[in-house]
Amino acid sequence: MQQLDEEEDINKILRYGNHSLTYRIVDRVFSQVPRKFTSMTEGKMGYEDFVYFILSEEDKSSEPSLEYWFKCIDLDGNGILTTNEMQFFYEEQLHRMECMAQEPVLFEDILCQMIDMIGPENETYFTLRDLKKCKLSGNIFNILFNLNKFMAFETRDPFLIRQERENPTLTEWDRFAHREYIRLSMEEDGEDASNG
């Protein structure tokens, strides 16, 4: 029964954000690499764990989020993200792009973009310090394991760019909360209209 609970939790996280996350990153989350679960049931994500995950997923620019995802990608725990580690996670993204008939972006091209974006002290790897110095570093994680956000970043929706410029003080979390509030309000309005 415990195995079923863990599988249900994993499937819920895999469905989160319209199936945007890769299996590899969800496996790292459930291996409790970035953060030990607080749930009393082994292998089960509790409410606090879920909230921490959502905050980390929706605002990858915050320091706790950067630390959370850095630990996930740092497979050997040595404090650096190597090309091999990043490529390991990106391989699944590449496969997903191909399955969706999207134009695949080769890892070598992505790596150049990430190096240009972050400007690390050493171009052969990224440190957490490198990521914390760059405002755009949350995009690195979207590139590696969140297909929907990666595609949005690649296509740069002009509406979102305008929104960010109009409210530069808003965090990614603030924008997420606003979008969800509007979505829920519209759902509620739709239900009210259908109920008469």
Any idea which residue has 């030990």 for tokens? Answer: 36
Q: 59: domain CATH number?
A: 1.10.238.10
**Distance from C-alpha of 55 to C-alpha of 87, rounded to nearest angstrom:** 25
| Residues 12 and 53 placed together within one structural domain of the fold | yes
| Residues 58 and 85 placed together within one structural domain of the fold | yes
| Residues 37 and 87 placed together within one structural domain of the fold | yes
| Residues 103 and 166 placed together within one structural domain of the fold | no
**Distance from C-alpha of 53 to C-alpha of 56, rounded to nearest angstrom:** 5
| Residues 105 and 164 placed together within one structural domain of the fold | no
| Residues 80 and 174 placed together within one structural domain of the fold | no
80 φ/ψ angles, rounded to the nearest 5 degrees: -135, 150
| Residues 109 and 144 placed together within one structural domain of the fold | yes
Interval 11-32: pLDDT, tens: 889 998 889 999 999 999 999 9
Domain that holds residue 84: 2-155
Which residue type, as a one-letter code, is found at position 71?
Answer: K
pLDDT of residue 4: 41
Interval 35-80: pLDDT, tens: 999 988 888 888 899 999 999 999 998 999 999 999 999 999 999 9
| Residues 168 and 181 placed together within one structural domain of the fold | yes
**Distance from C-alpha of 6 to C-alpha of 48, rounded to nearest angstrom:** 16
Interval 147-189: pLDDT, tens: 999 988 888 766 666 666 676 676 777 776 777 777 777 777 7
Could you give the number of structural domains in the chain?
2
**Distance from C-alpha of 28 to C-alpha of 21, rounded to nearest angstrom:** 11
| Residues 181 and 149 placed together within one structural domain of the fold | no
Interval 73-107: pLDDT, tens: 999 999 999 999 999 999 999 999 999 888 888 99
CB 61 within 8 Å of CB 137: yes
